[in-house]
Chains A and B, each alone.
Chain A
């Protein structure tokens, strides 16, 4: 197994994963989407709401606000000592108290005051509701760790996807530089330069084979390497992308451990 990082920034990562099979890559992708825990608001107590939106709509909007997650300080409620009732190890309280005193205003995620300075909205500019003069919104919200399989608000990523590494084969002897494949390629990978066909960014190819269809001479062939993947992750900002991956493999290793343990138990009987 070999990894080469192609791009990385604060929220996203793109890398090449070599010499693994699809089953492993897909497990990893599924774990990232469904099982890496993140923080999100789950319980809301509305104290006063004279805004035009119903309580439940506000609660739903609050739930969808991505919160920066500290996985070292919090545990999943079902794994918590308190038994999921809610304690300082598995729950964070956030409060919101806004009144539109001087005319219409918008309530933003930045108005939420968190009990823990580490657990704050990723962005302060997410609108929650618009208030007219005199309207008021007072509430108490409880955030907890959760998993994407329960609700999408707990997904740490907006994109986690992979594709096979494309291979573009050009037969220069057959090619007559007609340019039909250049026209056909939706990703604009191919280019005619000084009467010669040049392949640009192979990683960008989506394996559509439009170029193959366009070529009457069968000079271009598209194939892929089914043991090499281009893996893309775009986080929502709750966790850094490298942490998301680390957590995902940790979860996979834990699953394997559990399976070994359970099987050893059966073996003894």
Chain B
């Protein structure tokens, strides 16, 4: 994963996520939009085969958009861990172990 910052102000952030695609960007977008301070979040892949996704985040000014992205990434990590635990528990609880 390589990040290139295209634009950064106190309430706007646009960056390129080289080496990623819809897999991460769509989830990131969704989680960002759940943040109350984020007023807009979206991404765009200009070419389906060779495009690098460009992610755009705008906040209401209460929060640094970069901080919002970090928080979102932490939430994604938490979701992944939650899934892992729930899955292992369900395996244990069933007769499938």
Contact = CB atoms under 8 A, between A and B. Distances in A.
Interface of A: 1-5, 8, 15, 20-21, 23-24, 26-28, 30-31, 34-35, 242, 245-246, 249-250, 252-253, 255-260, 262-267
Main secondary structure of the interface of B (DSSP, over half): helix
Interface residues of B, number: 38
B76 interface: yes
A1 B29 CA distance: 20
Main secondary structure of the interface of A (DSSP, over half): helix
B40 interface: no
Given A3-B90, A15-B90, A27-B24, A255 B1 contact: yes
Nearest to B29: A23
A262 B1 CA distance: 8
Contacts of B63: none
Given A1-B79, A256-B77, A23 B27 contact: yes
Given A31-B23, A260-B74, 5 more contacts: A20-B83, A23-B29, A253-B76, A256-B80, A259-B3
23 contacts: A2-B86, A8-B94, A8-B96, A23-B29, A23-B30, A23-B31, A27-B26, A245-B87, A249-B84, A249-B87, A250-B80, A250-B84, A252-B76, A253-B76, A256-B73, A256-B77, A259-B24, A259-B70, A262-B3, A263-B3, A263-B73, A264-B70, A267-B67
A24 B27 contact: yes
A1 B70 contact: no
A246 B84 contact: yes
The 10 A-B pairs with the shortest beta carbon distances in the complex, nearest first, are A23-B30, A256-B77, A253-B80, A3-B90, A256-B76, A30-B23, A259-B73, A8-B96, A262-B3, A258-B1
A259 B26 contact: no
Interface in B22-70: 22-24, 26-31, 66-67, 69-70
Contacts of A266: 3, 5, 8, 66
Interface string B8-29: 1000000001001111101111
Pick the most buried of A2, A23, A35: most chain B CB atoms within 10 A of its CB: A23
Nearest to A259: B73
A30 B23 CA distance: 6
Nearest to B30: A23
Contacts of A255: 1, 20, 23-24, 76
Contacts of B21: 30
B12 to A, nearest CB: 14
